[in-house]
Amino acid sequence: MPVKDQTITEHYALFNGNCVEVMQNFPANALHFSAYSPPFCGLYVYSSDPHDLSNCVSYDEFMEHYAYVVEQVHRVTMPGRCSAVHCMDVPTSNTGHDHLRDFPGDIIRLHDTLGFRYVARYHVWKEPLAVRNRTMAKNLAHKTIVDDGTLCSVASADYLLVFRKDGTNPVPVAHPHGLDYYAGARIMPADIQAYRGWTGNQIENKYSHWIWRQYASAFWDDIRLDRVLPYVEASEEDERHIHPLQLDVIERCLILWTNPGEKVLSPFAGVGSEVYGAVILGRKGVGIELKSSYYRQAVKNLEHAAQHSVNEQTDLFAGVASSNSDDLFTSGTTD
């Protein structure tokens, strides 16, 4: 397995390398779920590494290279299981934000050609002034609406696109006592607290029904936008570029689409947000990150997660690792 570095524990595995090359060493149909943010083509260049998708010279070249990633994610995912992609509309050039490209639509069409079926799109609300202050986008400035309203635009939502691999899911993701954990900003009504973990008729489970109404909405306007992992090692330039996915989003994905103890993949792990969420919720995380500084921060974040897990954790390699070279977490060559 071609990696620059790796950290493998009983709770998670992190690899510093090219995600396509690393995934090629994983066995087929071995992972239960994946969640990640691909590089948002046209926004940032994350590194000078020629393997970095953000270095593609054109949008078409980016989509061609990204197809290799989706192809491998599809191969390693169990039949009938899901993959969640965090994305947004992107500008057509890096000179301004006035013309947008339907990046989510292209992601949907790509997945459809590779055996995934598009099943849901969630909109993650973002506060307009915060977006303006972070991006300095002229089309979000109040001065623009004063001078010429035809040049103003919107603080676009983030999108979470959910895909299901063709085939029959061999292990249902069941919630026999409903949903018992809410990741979000709303205050739950006090009179439903007694129904948490309700073992009776689930029609009566007011606690779970309240959470489900939040999660089933196509508009997630209750995500705590500042609930993200730290990236303290990153340089000032890195901090401007990296935007970890909110833990509320990750935890909702894991609760809805995985069982405790199952394996969760993040092929663009960044500082380890998806793997972190998997570990603290009693799942087993597998993260791959190309950029060494992000990988090192992910290692630190996952060390913290392993010490603060909210569920009893089991051996990450149970039923998987052996001397077979096709096994999922076989140690690789360090370049």
SS3 96: strand
Are the C-beta atoms of 34 and 111 separated by less than 8 Å?
Answer: no
The H or E element containing residue 98 is strand 96-101
pLDDT one-digit tens code per residue, 57-109? 788 888 999 999 999 999 999 999 999 999 988 877 655 556 888 999 999 99
Pairing relationship of beta strands 219-220 and 90-93 according to DSSP bridges: unpaired
Are the C-beta atoms of 334 and 6 separated by less than 8 Å?
Answer: yes
Confidence at residue 21, expressed as pLDDT on a 0 to 100 scale: 94
> How is domain 2-124+157-173+224-334 classified at the CATH fold level?
Rossmann fold (3.40.50)
Whole-number percent of the chain with pLDDT over 70 = 81
Alpha helices in the chain (DSSP H): 19-23, 59-76, 103-113, 128-135, 142-147, 206-215, 236-241, 247-257, 273-280, 292-307
Domain definitions of the chain by residue range: 2-124+157-173+224-334
Gap between the Cα atoms of 133 and 263, Å rounded: 37
SS (H, E, C) 173-223: CCCCCCCCCCCCCCCCCHHHHHHCCCCCCHHHCHHHHHHHHHHCCCEECCC
* Model confidence at 41: pLDDT above 70: no
pTM: 0.85
Mean pLDDT of 124-151: 86
Gap between the Cα atoms of 14 and 264, Å rounded: 12
pLDDT one-digit tens code per residue, 268-317? 999 999 999 999 999 999 999 999 989 999 999 999 887 765 433 333 33
